[in-house]
Chain A
Amino acid sequence: MQKLFSWASKWWPGLIPLAVMWGFAAWNNTLPVEADLSARSSAALKDTVLDKTRITVDGRDVSLAADAFSEEGRRDAVMAVETVPGVRLVDDRTRLVPEAKPFVWNAERDVVRVTLSGSAPLPSMKARLTEAARKEVGGVEVADRMGLARGAPPRFEAAAMLLLDQIGKLKDGKITITDTKVNLSGMARELGGREAIAAALKNLPEGFSIAANEIKAPPYIFQAYKDPVAATVTLTGYVPDNNVHAAIATSASRKFTEKAVDNLKASIGAPGSFNTAVIAALGALSRLSTGTLVVSDREVKLSGDALYEGAANEIRAGLGKDFPKNWQYKPEITVKPAAGPVDGTVCQQLFSELLTKSKIRFANKRADIDPDSVGILDRLIETALRCPTTNVEVVGHTDGDGEDAFNQALSEKRAQAVIDYLVKAGLPASRFTAVGHGSTQPVAGNDTDEGKAQNRRIEFLVR
């Protein structure tokens, strides 16, 4: 031992190169040590739930700044870094994320995107909610503007997921969770969407309740477009059920000489008296040369060209009366420019063509003109206006049913009823003569219903 001390007293000169080595070692290794410890600390924190994690290493001392979501999570994070081999001290700069009071979460949909905002309780849940929104609205942009906060009510995720399922059914709108209260506003994408959302909301997790559900149904739209060039009437939009569908289709085929193209779909949500209003509006459309009818909820818009001034006035003034109360009628009727005058022969041809394509209908065994025939009458009036110098014989015929005397009288009355209508429309009475032939001039056999229908007719003969 004595010797050891005597040798040791001579070891000091080695301290000079040792100090130099130390200097080099410190120079070379400080940054690598810091980088290594930083990497190990980050790896140790991989499984902890933190936000805004920032690790800075000074020598072997680690400063950990982060937002934790619980006191326990915060402790675990610090402990995880403390146990990293090589770490000497941990400067704990962690804090708990702020608590949101009230805890508010929003999902808002507009034309171009879905925006998620407000607070989410955990980063992983934030990602799950964004992902769920993406799946629900497929293709539409989803903007994640959610922050993180503590204080979410229990079963928040289940509630938010259920509400996100509804965002796909909205055209636009906003869904908000405020603590355990849910508010919804906006417009459903399709008819029935509002009802579907209301049904889904019954499955909200326990504890959550609906504060306000102001989801509106989209307008109930029925459209008809009359195209004189293609000779079609196109019906699109919604009808309440198959019975109304059939009634509208039958009415359209009686009112229009054009072919009806039926693209109607059945859907719930029709306003009251839909049937009556639409059939009345179709009657008005049938009087137009070209026109569009749009029924949107309780608003009826009719635009197009009437065949002559009198018809335009009648359509503008008259239709509103046919509608149920609290329906609005907005006519935008112009008058088709009058066609050039023609001579008697052409006029006769035009009358015959019109009456072949369609016919003037009357009430059964009576001389009252069926309202469905106003379309054809307007066309006959328009034609009569083109040959103002001619005189026209209006001839009535009946089928073979009933007594001859009755049929004779009926045919005359019907012819006269037509003349009355023409005169009322502004044509001079002197140009028209009513003639009745009863069932004496059939054009088909009276033994079938079809034949009888052909025999019941009105003819216009230019004299």
Chain B
Amino acid sequence: MPYLVSFHLGWLIGSLLLGFCMGWISVVQRGNGTSKVAARWFAVLAAGLLAASLAHVVPGRFGYWLDLGLIMFACYLVGCTIGAWLRHRVVARTAPPAAV
């Protein structure tokens, strides 16, 4: 893991930034997003891939690509969370005078 992070640091920061932007947008975006069912299926898929990665069942280069994809996805999620949370703080601070 530390090896993967240090070797692909640029790409992971990229994923993080991408996530940050996506999170930033998601707070104020209107619309319904994905359905709960789709989200659950997606979560199951992600968990399955994670399990496959930890169990080292995928051989060779595919295994490496899977690990890389998962770690980039994790960074993306972290970025999204930070972005969404920060945007939420910004929105919350500017919203109260309008409500008064």
Q: Which of A12-20, A128-136, A169-177, A298-306 contacts B (4 or more CB under 8 A)?
A: A12-20
Closest B residue to A40 by CB, please name it: B3
Asked if residues B64 and A18 are in contact (CB atoms below 8 Å), the reply is no
Compute how far the CA of A145 lies from the CA of B54 in the bound complex, rounded to whole angstroms.
48
B34 at the interface (CB under 8 A from A): yes
Q: Tell me the minimal C-beta distance from A41 to chain B in angstroms.
A: 13
* Interfacial chain A residues near B62, Cβ < 8 Å: 59
CB distance from A26 to the nearest CB of B (A): 5
Contact A12 B33 (CB under 8 A): yes
Does B94 make an interface contact (CB < 8 A)? no
CB neighbours (8 Å) of B47 from chain A are: none
For A88, list chain B residues within 8 Å (CB).
56, 63-64, 67
CB contact list, B63-100 vs A, under 8 A: 63-65, 67-69, 72-73, 76-77, 80-81, 84, 88
- List A65-120 residues whose CB lies under 8 Å from chain B: 85-86, 88-89
Rounded to whole Å, the gap between the CB of A60 and the closest CB of chain B is: 5
Q: Are A22 and B64 in contact (CB under 8 A)?
A: no
Q: Indicate whether A8 reaches chain B with its CB closer than 8 angstroms.
A: yes
Q: State which of A29-37, A156-164, A400-408 sits at the interface with chain B.
A: A29-37
Q: Which residue of B lies closest to A87 (CB)?
A: B3
Bound CA–CA A48/B88 (angstroms): 58
- Contact check, B65 vs A12: say whether CB atoms are below 8 A apart: no
Query: Chain A's nearest CB lies how many Å from the CB of B10?
Result: 9
B-chain residues with CB within 8 Å of residue A86 when the two chains form the complex:
3-4, 7
Give 1 or 0 for each of B43-66: 1 = CB within 8 Å of chain A CB: 000000000000010011111110
**Given A14-B80, A18-B15, A60-B63, A9 contacting B34 (CB threshold 8 A):** yes
CB neighbors of A among B11-42 (8 A): 11, 14-15, 18-19, 21-23, 25-27, 29, 31-34, 39, 42
- The interface residues of chain B, by DSSP majority, are classed as helix
Q: Which residues of A contact B39 (CB under 8 A)?
A: 8-9
Quote the shortest CB–CB distance from B92 to chain A (angstroms). 11
A357 interfacial contact with B, CB 8 Å: no
Residue from B42, B64, B72, B77 in contact with A33 in the complex, judged by beta carbons closer than 8 Å: B64
Q: Is the beta-carbon distance between B73 and A18 smaller than 8 angstroms?
A: yes
Band of interface residues on A:
20 to 34
Q: Which of A10, A25, A89 contacts B72, CB < 8 Å?
A: A25
Structural contact, A29 and B7, CB atoms closer than 8 A: yes
Chain B residues with CB under 8 Å of A30's CB are 61, 64-65
A29 to B69: give the CA distance in the assembly, Å. 12
* Chain A proximity of B6: nearest CB distance (Å): 9
Is there an interface contact between A18 and B34, defined as CB atoms closer than 8 Å?
Answer: no
Who on chain B is nearest to A30 by CB?
B61
Which of A10, A22, A88, A89 has its CB near the most chain B CB atoms (within 10 A)? Answer: A10
In chain A between 227 and 265, which residues have their CB closer than 8 angstroms to a CB of chain B? none
- A18-B73, A61-B59, A89-B56 are known contacts. Are A4 and B18 too (CB-CB below 8 A)? no
- Hey, which chain A residues are within 8 Å of B14, CB to CB? 21
Fill in one digit per residue for A41-73: 1 if any B CB lies within 8 Å of its CB, else 0.
Answer: 000000000000000001111000000000000
Is the CB–CB distance between B3 and A59 below 8 Å?
Answer: no
Q: Identify B76's interface contact among A9, A18, A26, CB under 8 A.
A: A18
Partner of B21, one of A6, A14, A26: A14
- Complex-state Cα separation, A17 to B76, whole angstroms: 11
From B29, B32, B33, B59, residue with most partner A Cβ within 10 Å:
B33
- Known: A17-B18, A25-B11. Is A59-B63 also a contact (CB below 8 A)? yes
Q: B7 is contacted by which of A11, A14, A21, A36 (Cβ under 8 Å)?
A: A36
Q: Using A14-B76, A89-B56 as known contacts, say yes or no to A59 and B61 having CB atoms under 8 A apart.
A: yes
Chain A residues engaging chain B, CB cutoff 8 angstroms:
3-4, 6-15, 17-18, 21-22, 24-26, 29-30, 32-33, 36, 58-61, 85-86, 88-89
Nearest 4 CB-CB pairings of A with B: A9-B33, A59-B64, A86-B3, A14-B22
